[in-house]
Amino acid sequence: MNDIVSLHRAEYEETPEIVVQTPARIDLLGEHTEFSEGIILALAVDRSVQVAISVRRDNSLRFYAADFNERKRTTISNLKFKREDRWANYLKGVIFAYMQMGFPLKGLNMTVSGDIPQGIGLASSSAIEVAAAIGLNTVFGYGLTDLQLIEAARQAETRFMGKKIGLIDHIVQFSSRRGKAELIDSRSLEHQDVDFSIAPYRLVITDSRVPRVLSDAELRQRRNDCKQCLAALSRKRTGTTLRDYSATDLMESMGLLPESVRRRSMHVIQEIGRVTEAADALRRSDLPGFGKIMNHSHESLRDLYEVSCPEVDWLVKRSLELDGILCSRMIGQGFGGCTVTFMKDEAVEDYKKRLEEYERIFGFKPILFTVEPAQGAQIVLHERAHENSHHQ
């Protein structure tokens, strides 16, 4: 906090009125089921973004990314999406969302800083949005409900940037409690805390460094495949999403659907079941059972949904050959990105040797870091208290 306060003060010659910190997020299971109203098991982890805000006397909007030493600026009347503004669009999008809701806004100075690696599936963008939404709500005393705050953060991308995203990342980053995973029903938006006690294992994230190419188009194709499957299944029995059907229903459709459509839909249906089973295993402290579910999920992502890649598959396979490894699975949207591995301390050095082998074979130098469960978004500095703040 002290760093961003001093950085904001040096940039704008004034102390921020509020600093909000939001954690990174990893989806343990279910990340490709949200569009089918599935269930997701996710975890806030201890990498974070901080957003500092002070109110100006004019209508200027000034944004400072301290980690890049980059600055962007505009005005309230000229607020619009610009591709070249990259990180600043997430801040501008939240301002836009509040304006669309009819809230009056003044000029702002905003500073963003953090240590969430970007572009590898740890939800750095939604972390910025959640922090900005909480900060503006508190500074101006708007009194939004939790769900309204989360929706304002999401609208930064859906209405301002034109992206199709759900609410899950924002819910996890807003609501998580330390030591708990979040089980979120994307149909009802209900969420439950699940005890996340995994000792003697630690969570190790490995960034494969594989560049994600054409992944958006590939993901759209998979979702279209699932829509095609849903249309076929709903001719026999009414259902609104694949969640309303079983693996048996899908097996009975063999011959009616292309094999790729059936495979990808089978992943979604089975993954929704795995999420519930994994949460139950955590509640029972059944770590071996939980680990098997995680490993089966990766196999399904690889063989049925087909969003993995040889490099990530190699990382998962070779990690599971080591003593002291409970499970390993790709996380994120796929076609590169990261793995999460549940690993005992004594396995770390052997695992690092496998990463050296990985670099020799594939030519990518992977990045490894350990994370722990973290608290959801928090106000870490507030100069002007308002009674309506949820996170005080």
CA–CA distance, 19 with 175 (Å, rounded to integer): 17
Q: How far is CA 298 from CA 170, 260, 306, 364, in A?
A: 24, 18, 10, 21
Local confidence pLDDT in tens for the 392 residues of the chain: 569 999 999 999 999 999 999 999 999 999 999 999 999 999 999 999 999 999 999 999 999 999 999 999 999 999 999 999 999 999 999 999 999 999 989 999 999 999 999 888 899 999 999 999 999 999 999 999 999 999 999 999 999 999 888 889 999 999 999 999 999 999 999 999 999 999 999 999 999 999 887 678 899 999 999 999 999 999 888 899 999 999 999 988 877 899 999 999 999 999 999 999 999 999 999 999 999 999 999 999 999 999 999 999 999 999 999 999 999 999 988 998 899 999 999 999 999 999 999 999 999 999 999 999 999 999 999 986 433 333 33
Q: Give the closest residue to 132 by CA, choosing from 162, 165, 105.
A: 105
pLDDT at 388: 35
**Contact between residue 374 and residue 196 where contact means Cβ atoms under 8 Å apart:** no
Check 3, 46, 67, 169 and give the catalytic one. Answer: 169
pLDDT confidence of residue 212:
80
Pairing between strand 70-75 and 191-195?
A: unpaired
Both ends of the chain: CA-CA distance in Å? 16
pLDDT at 118: 84
Helices 146-158, 168-175: axis angle to 10 degrees equals 140
Structural Rg of the chain based on CA atoms: 22
What is the pLDDT at residue 253? 81
**According to the model, what pLDDT value does residue 387 have?**
37
Token representation of residue 145: 């409900």
Are 370 and 203 within 8 A, CB to CB? yes
Supply the pLDDT for residue 386.
38
pLDDT at residue 167, as a whole number? 87
Which domains can be identified in the chain, with CATH numbers? 2-195+375-382 (3.30.230.10), 201-371 (3.30.70.890)
Whether this prediction's pTM lies above 0.85 is answered by: yes
> Can you say how many angstroms the Cα of residue 317 is from the centroid of all Cα atoms in its chain?
24
Q: Please give the full DSSP string across 42-110, using - where no structure is assigned.
A: EEEEEEEEEEEEEE-SSSEEEEEETTTTEEEEEEGGG----GGGTTHHHHHHHHHHHHHTT-----EEE
Q: Is the peptide bond before 200 cis (omega within 30 degrees of 0)?
A: yes
Is 169 among the catalytic positions?
yes
Residue 90, classified by CB atoms within 10 Å of its CB into exposed (0-12), middle (13-18) or buried (19+), is buried
